[in-house]
C-alpha cells in the first residue's frame, strides 16, 4: 500500500507550495490544472511515466527538477519512495512572465532537469514560507522570478533539457564555456562540476543528455580540432602539440587523434590534401 505524508506550506491565488514524503506508488491517469514544478530532496529514485504508448524511465537524484505544464496529461506512472518539494503555479503567473519577455506561454514537460537557479529559488521560497516570513513582497518576487525563468528556458523553442534530464540553455552555455577555456589542460569532471555548482554524477548525465556526448568525448573531439590547426599552421613537435591541447601524454593524443580523424597526427600533418 502506498502512503504519502505531506504538508501544504502555503496556498494563495497564484500558487500552492507543498512538501511531500511518499512510499512507492502507482500514479493514476491525471491532467494538471496548474503548472507543477517539483524538486527532488533525496534519491536516487527510479521513475517511470507513460503517455499513450510512450514510456519514459529516469533515475532522479537530489536537486533534480520535474515540470508538468498546465493541462499536461499522463496515462500513469510508477515512482519509488522519495521526498520532494512541489510548487503549483497558476497559469496567470506564466502568462504574465510570457508577456514581459515577449514569448508565448508554452512550457514543455521535463523530467529530471538539472537547473541550479530554479532549484535554489524553490529552496529559498521554502525557507521564507517555513520561517513565517513568507507573507510579503519577497515571496511574490521569488514566484515572479521563477515564472520568468521557466518561460525563458523551458519554452518549446528554447528548451535544451531534451525532456528527460539535461541542462537549461544558460547552464549548458556556462558549462561549455568553462570547458572550452580549459582545453589546454587536464580537466576533470570533478573540477568542472565544482566550477558550475553541480554534483559530478548529475553534471555527467545532464551534459550527455543535452549534447549527445560524454564530457570525455567532447573534450577529446575539441582538443583534436585544436591540434589539427597546430599541425597545419606550426612547426612544433607532435609531443608539444599534445601538451598544448591538454592531453597528458603523446600516446593518448595519438590514440584519440586517430580515433577522431582516421589518421595519425604525423600522417595528417604530412598529407598533400591538408597542405593544399
- Taking only the tens place, the pLDDT of each residue in 191-235 is 999 999 999 999 999 999 888 999 999 999 999 999 999 999 888
Q: Are 68 and 109 in contact (CB under 8 A)?
A: yes
Tell me: pLDDT of 34 over 60: yes
Place of cell 504574465: 96
Give the DSSP H/E element, type plus range, for residue 49: strand 45-51
* Least confident stretch, 13-27, 110-124, 188-202: 13-27
What is the Cα–Cα distance from 224 to 156, expressed in whole angstroms?
34
pLDDT for position 249? 87
Give the DSSP H/E element, type plus range, for residue 165: none
Give the list of residues 6+ apart from residue 179 with CB closer than 8 angstroms, or none.
187, 192, 215, 218, 219, 222
CATH topology of domain 4-153: Jelly Rolls (2.60.120)
Q: What are 60's three cell numbers?
A: 532522479
In this prediction, residue 133 has a pLDDT band, given cuts at 50, 70 and 90, of low
Domain extents in the chain: 4-153, 217-275
pLDDT for position 134? 53
Beta-bridge partners for 18: 8, 86
- Provide the whole-model pTM: 0.82
In 3D space, the residue among 275, 98, 66 whose CA is nearest the CA of residue 165 turns out to be 66
In 10 A of CB 33, how many CB atoms?
11
Tell me: pLDDT of 171 over 50: yes
Give the list of residues 6+ apart from residue 103 with CB closer than 8 angstroms, or none.
151, 152, 155, 157
Q: What are 128's three cell numbers?
A: 521564507
In 10 A of CB 103, how many CB atoms?
15
Mean pLDDT score across all residues of the chain = 87
What is the Cα–Cα distance from 268 to 273, expressed in whole angstroms?
9
Give the list of residues 6+ apart from residue 197 with CB closer than 8 angstroms, or none.
116
What is the Cα–Cα distance from 249 to 61, expressed in whole angstroms?
35
- Domain formed by 217-275, architecture: Orthogonal Bundle (1.10)
Tell me: pLDDT of 272 over 50: no
Tell me: pLDDT of 122 over 50: yes
* Least confident stretch, 16-25, 155-164, 169-178, 180-189: 155-164
CA dihedral 130, 143, 66, 29 (to 10 degrees): 90
Tell me: pLDDT of 179 over 60: yes
In 3D space, the residue among 239, 170, 246, 241 whose CA is nearest the CA of residue 215 turns out to be 246
Amino acid at each position: 500500500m502506498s502512503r504519502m505524508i505531506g504538508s501544504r506550506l502555503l496556498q494563495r491565488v497564484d500558487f500552492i507550495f507543498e512538501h511531500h514524503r511518499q512510499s512507492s506508488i502507482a500514479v493514476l491517469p491525471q491532467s494538471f490544472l496548474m503548472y507543477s514544478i517539483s524538486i527532488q530532496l533525496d534519491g536516487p529514485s527510479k521513475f517511470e511515466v507513460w503517455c499513450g504508448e510512450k514510456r519514459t524511465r529516469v533515475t532522479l537524484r537530489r536537486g533534480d527538477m520535474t515540470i508538468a505544464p498546465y493541462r499536461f496529461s499522463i496515462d500513469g506512472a510508477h515512482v519509488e519512495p522519495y521526498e520532494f518539494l512541489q510548487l503549483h503555479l497558476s497559469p496567470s503567473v506564466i502568462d504574465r512572465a510570457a508577456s514581459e519577455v515577449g514569448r508565448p506561454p508554452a512550457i514543455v514537460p521535463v523530467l529530471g532537469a538539472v537547473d541550479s537557479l530554479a532549484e535554489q529559488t524553490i529552496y529559498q521560497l521554502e525557507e521564507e514560507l517555513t520561517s513565517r516570513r513568507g507573507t510579503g513582497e519577497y515571496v511574490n518576487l521569488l514566484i515572479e522570478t521563477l515564472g520568468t525563468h521557466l518561460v525563458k528556458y523551458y519554452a518549446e523553442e528554447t528548451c535544451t533539457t531534451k525532456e528527460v534530464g539535461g541542462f537549461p540553455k544558460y547552464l549548458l552555455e556556462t558549462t561549455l564555456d568553462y570547458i572550452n577555456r580549459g582545453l589546454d589542460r587536464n580537466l576533470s569532471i570533478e573540477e568542472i562540476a565544482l566550477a558550475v555548482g553541480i554534483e559530478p554524477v548529475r553534471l555527467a548525465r545532464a551534459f550527455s543528455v543535452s549534447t549527445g556526448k560524454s564530457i570525455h568525448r567532447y573534450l577529446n573531439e575539441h582538443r583534436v580540432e585544436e591540434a589539427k590547426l597546430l599541425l597545419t599552421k606550426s612547426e612544433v613537435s607532435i609531443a608539444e602539440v599534445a601538451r598544448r591541447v591538454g592531453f597528458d601524454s603523446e600516446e593518448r593524443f595519438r590514440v584519440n587523434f586517430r580515433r577522431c580523424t582516421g589518421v595519425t597526427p604525423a600522417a595528417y600533418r604530412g598529407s598533400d590534401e591538408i597542405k593544399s
